[in-house]
């Protein structure tokens, strides 16, 4: 049944009107050839296991008793509250599906937006944290020697974790047992996993803006092939308490949870890590606190590396405190923070010593810390389709895509390399063969990341098995050469930092408000609509680059020497208005909307003055629309449908963009130019 509140609304409509009018659930994506691929498994988890996500029984009873609706669609009070929650989950499903298809940052952004709205309901409070990583990474990482994307990477990690949970019964049991969920319904355990795994995976790298400046300084020395170490200038942080200090309310909360007073997140994390891993790995709380305190202040103790994971955990705690307040913080939030602080180097080099033959400890068992185990596994597996920013990273060979099969509770991964790089690959194999014949005094040839997967030692798989216990989830890794498919990226000349997307959507929504409207008022109006409608506006804004490309224009937040566009005319409209209509139709189809006019003709028992508003609300409950189309539609069929629309309906697809031009200049600093 999957979306149970939508199905309940469908039954009620059938009973009320005597025919099956909807709402209908859109089909779930399934790769029929390989049912347990990444995309199928991750989306199946969201559809099949997460029934009742964020449902509220009290609101449902209130609706029944008072004969009202408490859910929000186009506006408040149009649909049942739990139906809104179902539609929100469908938004997340479709956002993740679009991201897995494209891998681009704008689609990753939609996943973040949906997840934050579902679990926190306050995207605006978190948007700076979410967007800073990509903004900082894209602009600052080009100065580094080695650096690759961590924004889209985090959403891929999120998807991998969902696929593992969906397909591996042993992991599901471990997770349920760890959190005392053995006797609760499956959907409740899955919903809790989605919340805390999402928090772990989506935010595990938000501390990178603290690591990037450190690496930039060291890169100055590495330009001349000088290795980092003694004699190199490096950064160390001071006044770290500005980030790690616990507020008085948090101190009281954690003392109530753990029976001990903590002053900083480092003290809290040291206690929690010792509690979970101390006995298994032979360290004390004091030992761990010493390591954590030294992470930002004494990088020379850690091979002259700065650990972004330390900052990610501290930064995420601050965000949780700001959004939730102290009374809603719990032990599972601390588990999220410890999973994050472990994932980069802490576990590998300060706990398990996995590259030290004499001191190497056992890989992490999932039973000790299910979230940390899954994060480290998925973080290692996710090495494909990551934008290379660093100088050396841009010349290395990394997988451009990957095929996963999670059948039988195992993981079989095949990573795809660009066949255009075959010359480099052949040169590597030649150099490696020469090294094998005479290795004396020479470094072993490496070709990141290809040699670690395809080389004789298979370091990629071996390292993962040293980090996490894979005894219950057999892992096999392969590789192949193929031709890249770059069409799915849908990238265009238009560009600012994509963090403008949210502001772009707010401006688009507020296009009919007075020009002097304050940004705060515009955002408040935008947030009066449901997640579905806000996401639709975000996607409309995201497609603006495609429309501009079609009319030989582009937008940028930088001054350039091209003709400035201040208005679109009928010539441009004839090109991109049908494109916008096609986007609207396909997007609504994906969300389960279908063609129908019943909401305009069905008998209603409301006063005449309320009829128009009630028919709009009925449309939202039926999820049908007179401008929709049904079936498997071709591009030409939708174009022909657009030509049959009234002029007023056609104008809806392009006139808003003229108002938008002035708003963008004022609100977001963007300008549109003609090539």
Coil/strand/helix, residue 411: strand
| Cα–Cα distance for residue pair 257/333, rounded to 1 Å | 12
Residue 412 has what pLDDT?
97
Query: Among 40, 16, 27, 1, which residue's Cα sits nearest to residue 630?
Result: 27
Q: Are strands 624-625 and 594-595 parallel, antiparallel or unpaired?
A: parallel
The strand ranges marked E within 427-574 are 475-482, 553-556, 563-564
pLDDT of residue 474: 96
| pLDDT score for 394 | 46
Instruction: Identify the DSSP state of 246.
Output: P
CB 240 within 8 A of CB 297: yes
**How many angstroms separate the CA atoms of 542 and 540, rounded?**
5
Q: Provide DSSP, 434-468.
A: HHHH--TT-PPP--TBHHHHHSTT-HHHHHHHHHB
This prediction has a pTM of: 0.93
Instruction: Give SS3 for 668.
Output: coil
pLDDT at site 226: 67
The DSSP 8-state label assigned to residue 36 in this structure reads T
- Predicted local confidence at residue 136, as pLDDT: 52
* pLDDT (0 to 100) of residue 592: 96
Question: Rounded CA gap, 514 and 321, in Å?
Answer: 36
> How would you list the strands of the sheet with 553-556, edge to edge?
553-556, 671-674, 563-564
3-state secondary structure 263-313: CEHHHHHHHHHHHHHHHHHCCCHHHHHHHHHHHHHCHHHHCCCCCHHHHHH
Q: What is the pLDDT at residue 212?
A: 82
Q: Is the bond preceding residue 107 a cis peptide, omega within 30 degrees?
A: no
Question: Cβ–Cβ contacts within 10 Å for residue 200, how many?
Answer: 27
Q: How far apart are CA 116 and CA 14, in angstroms?
A: 34
**Most distant CA pair in the chain: distance in Å?**
92
Dihedral sign computed on CA atoms, order 656, 659, 662, 663: negative
Residue 660 to residues 9, 544, 565, 599, 664: CA-CA distances in angstroms?
Answer: 37, 11, 12, 31, 6
Within a 10 A sphere around the Cβ of 530, how many other Cβ atoms?
Answer: 23
The pLDDT of residue 145 is: 39
Beta strands in 84-238 (DSSP E): none
Report how far residue 106's alpha carbon sits from residue 223's, in angstroms, rounded to the nearest whole number.
32
Distance separating alpha carbons of residues 16 and 242, to the nearest angstrom: 60
CA dihedral 458, 459, 465, 466 (to 10 degrees): 150
List of the chain residues with pLDDT < 70? 1, 122-149, 221-226, 386-396, 486-500, 660, 662-669
């Amino acid at each position: 049944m999957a979306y149970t509140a939508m199905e309940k609304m469908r039954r009620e409509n059938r009973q009320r009107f005597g025919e099956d009018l909807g709402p209908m659930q859109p089909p779930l994506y399934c790769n029929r050839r390989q049912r347990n691929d990444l995309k199928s498994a991750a989306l199946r988890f969201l559809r099949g296991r997460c029934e009742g996500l964020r449902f509220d029984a009290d609101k449902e009873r209130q609706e029944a008793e008072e004969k009202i609706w408490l859910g929000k669609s186009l506006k408040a009070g149009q649909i049942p509250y739990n139906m809104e929650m179902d539609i929100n989950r469908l938004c997340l499903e479709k956002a993740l599906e679009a991201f897995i298809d494209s891998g681009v940052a704008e689609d990753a952004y939609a996943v973040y937006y949906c997840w934050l709205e579902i679990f926190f309901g306050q995207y605006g409070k978190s948007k700076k944290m979410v967007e800073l990583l990509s903004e900082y990474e894209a602009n600052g990482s080009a100065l580094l020697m080695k650096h690759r994307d961590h924004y889209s990477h985090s959403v891929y990690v999120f998807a991998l974790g969902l696929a593992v949970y969906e397909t591996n019964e042993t992991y599901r049991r471990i997770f349920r047992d760890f959190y005392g969920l053995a006797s609760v319904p499956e959907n409740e355990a899955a919903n809790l996993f989605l919340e805390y795994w999402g928090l772990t995976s989506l935010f595990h790298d938000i501390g990178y803006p603290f690591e990037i400046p450190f690496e930039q300084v060291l890169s100055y020395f590495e330009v001349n092939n000088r290795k980092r170490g003694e004699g190199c200038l490096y950064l160390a942080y001071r006044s770290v308490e500005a980030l790690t200090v616990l507020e008085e309310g948090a101190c009281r909360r954690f003392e109530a949870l753990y029976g001990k007073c903590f002053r900083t997140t480092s003290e809290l994390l040291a206690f929690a890590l010792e509690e979970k891993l101390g006995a298994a790995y032979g360290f004390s709380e004091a030992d761990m606190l010493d390591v954590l305190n030294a992470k930002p202040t004494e990088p020379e103790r850690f091979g002259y590396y700065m650990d972004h994971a330390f900052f990610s955990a501290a930064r995420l705690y601050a965000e949780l405190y700001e959004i939730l307040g102290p009374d809603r913080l719990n032990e599972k939030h601390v588990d999220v923070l410890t999973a994050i602080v472990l994932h980069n180097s802490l576990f590998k080099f300060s706990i398990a010593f996995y590259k030290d033959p004499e001191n190497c400890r056992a890989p992490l068992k999932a039973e000790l810390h299910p979230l940390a185990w899954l994060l480290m596994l998925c973080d290692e597996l996710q090495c494909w389709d990551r934008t290379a920013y660093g100088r050396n990273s841009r010349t290395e060979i990394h997988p451009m895509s990957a095929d996963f099969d999670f059948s039988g509770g195992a993981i079989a991964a095949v990573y795809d390399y660009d066949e255009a790089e075959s010359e480099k690959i052949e040169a590597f194999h030649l150099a490696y063969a020469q090294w094998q014949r005479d290795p004396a005094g020479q470094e072993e040839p490496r070709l990141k990341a290809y040699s670690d997967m395809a080389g004789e030692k298979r370091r990629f798989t071996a390292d993962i098995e040293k980090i996490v216990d894979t005894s219950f989830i057999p892992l096999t890794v392969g590789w192949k050469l193929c031709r890249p498919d770059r069409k799915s990226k849908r990238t265009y000349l238009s560009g600012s930092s994509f963090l403008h997307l949210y502001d772009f959507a707010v401006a688009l929504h507020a296009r009919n408000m007075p020009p002097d409207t304050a940004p705060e008022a515009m955002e408040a109006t935008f947030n009066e609509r449901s997640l579905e409608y806000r996401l639709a506006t975000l996607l409309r804004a995201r497609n603006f680059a495609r429309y501009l490309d079609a009319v030989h224009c582009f937008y940028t937040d930088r001054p350039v020497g091209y003709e400035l566009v201040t208005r679109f005319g009928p010539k441009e409209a004839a090109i991109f208005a049908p494109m916008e209509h096609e986007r609207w139709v396909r997007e609504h189809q994906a969300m389960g909307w279908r063609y129908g006019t019943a909401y305009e003709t069905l008998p209603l028992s409301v006063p005449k003055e309320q009829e128009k508003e009630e028919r709009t609300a009925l449309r939202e409950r039926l999820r049908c629309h007179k401008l929709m189309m049904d079936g498997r539609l071709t591009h030409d069929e939708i174009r022909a449908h657009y030509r049959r629309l009234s002029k007023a309906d056609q104008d809806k697809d392009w006139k808003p963009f003229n108002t938008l031009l002035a708003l963008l200049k004022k609100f977001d600093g963007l300008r549109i130019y003609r090539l």
